[in-house]
Amino acid sequence: MALLYLIPLINPKTLDKPHLPPAAVNFSRRHSSVKPLNAEPKRNDSIVPSAATIIARAEAVEKVEVEDYEKLAKDLQNASPLEIMDRALEKFGNDIAIAFSGAEDVALIEYAHLTGRPFRVFSLDTGRLNPETYKFFDEVEKHYGIHIEYMFPDAVEVQALVRSKGLFSFYEDGHQECCRVRKVRPLRMALKGLRAWITGQRKDQSPGTRSEIPIVQVDPVFEGMDSGLGSLVKWNPVANVKGDDVWNFLRAMNVPVNSLHTQGYISIGCEPCTRPVLPGQHEREGRWWWEDAKAKECGLHKGNIEEGNLKDNANGAVHANGTATHADLFSTHNVFKLSRPGMENLLKLENRKEAWLVVLYAPWCRFCQAAEWSYVELAEKLAGSSVKVGKFRADGEQKAFAQQELQLGSFPTILFFPKHSSRPVKYPSEERDVDSLMTFVNALR
């Protein structure tokens, strides 16, 4: 098992043994000849590269099929976190970055440093983190000589949420909406500039959602710079490592840690949604403690839902009892929520004053979740134009109507209602990036 490989790392006498990757032989910070790319003095506000950079990389890097990563995950099942990290950085270079939350996943940065390879680190600043976490970010930057690439939520979206629901609405209606605005959408922006990302997920963190995470996988939800599902690879180097072993590693390597850990915090998130855990409690009990203990996720790892909780059918996946409890999608003032009568009226009108673009969706569908950012961004581009953007929830009791009258085959289905035609035009492609959707709209409006 991968746990056995931690022993050589915490024993100074074995740090130069030949079984480690060649690039990781020299662990001395003072004598390291490789400087991380993010150690340059100039900060970037976004890790999304320019269009020219994206095109150049797209031409230079060959896509790898899903099956290759399934095989790679099996090959690395018994590998050490250091070996996995080295493999990830070697394979993706500057197109991969470590997602750092300000908690014990600082171990990822230490492993990346030990490889001797250049590496990048990004973090999501929600604007509601603990003061101790911000101080920890600064300590990590100074300790490793790096610049963390911070991603921030959209100010207009945060303002709209707070003005309409207040500062603490998540205590009443669940944390998903707030997390989607402050964390998930900024994460989507970050990942759109990458081909792969590295997370600190472990199987023992949350038995309900993380018990089956692989070492490496094609990300089931988020998109990379090439757009579309399958365009991003997700690495989980410590997936098989126990929490206690991670902490043994951090202590042995004298790595800086968040001071909140000494106050009883284990899993650390935003200040209003995180509290210390009591002796004997699971580490995730300190997150969103007022909610169901089996759903301790913010949306950053949506693909973790166990297959046992879902059943597949031709239109995606639904809960075994037929109900959906996920937070709604496409929630922005630029996307109009349409009711059943509204959709029926659209179908009847032959001479509309404005064209409409409507997505038929289900909140629990991971393909709808993956398309959310692109659709919201498209709605922003079309705001004030001759095209209205809407959404219609087409699962549950509306599913039969959507299949019979709205050409629903699978979720999401996107329809364009031209001004002078009663028949909607179905978007025919699986490519749901903004440029592809805009091309479709421009060809018809």
* Residues annotated as catalytic (active site), given as ranges: 365, 368
Report the 10 Å Cβ neighbour count for 410: 13
CA distances from 9 to 14, 26, 149, 319 (A): 7, 12, 28, 43
Largest CA distance in the chain: 79
**Eight-state DSSP code of residue 175:** S
Sheet of 216-218, strand order:
149-151, 121-124, 96-99, 196-198, 233-235, 216-218
Q: Which residues lie across from 217 on neighbouring strands?
A: 234
Give the C-alpha separation, 233 to 215, whole Å. 11
> Angle, to 10 degrees, between the axis of helix 106-115 and the axis of helix 131-144?
10
HSE of 404, CA atoms in CB hemisphere, 13 A: 6
∠ at Cα 199 (197, 204), nearest 5°?
Answer: 150
Omega prior to 412 cis, within 30 of 0: yes
Contact 86, 24 (CB under 8 A): yes
Specify the DSSP element, H or E, that contains 218: strand 216-218
Helices (H) and strands (E) in the chain, counts: 15, 13
Give the C-alpha separation, 280 to 265, whole Å. 13
Cα of 386 vs its chain's centroid, Å = 33
Cα of 104 vs its chain's centroid, Å = 18
Token couple for 91: 């394979």
Token couple for 304: 């973790």
Pairing, β 310-313 against β 216-218: unpaired
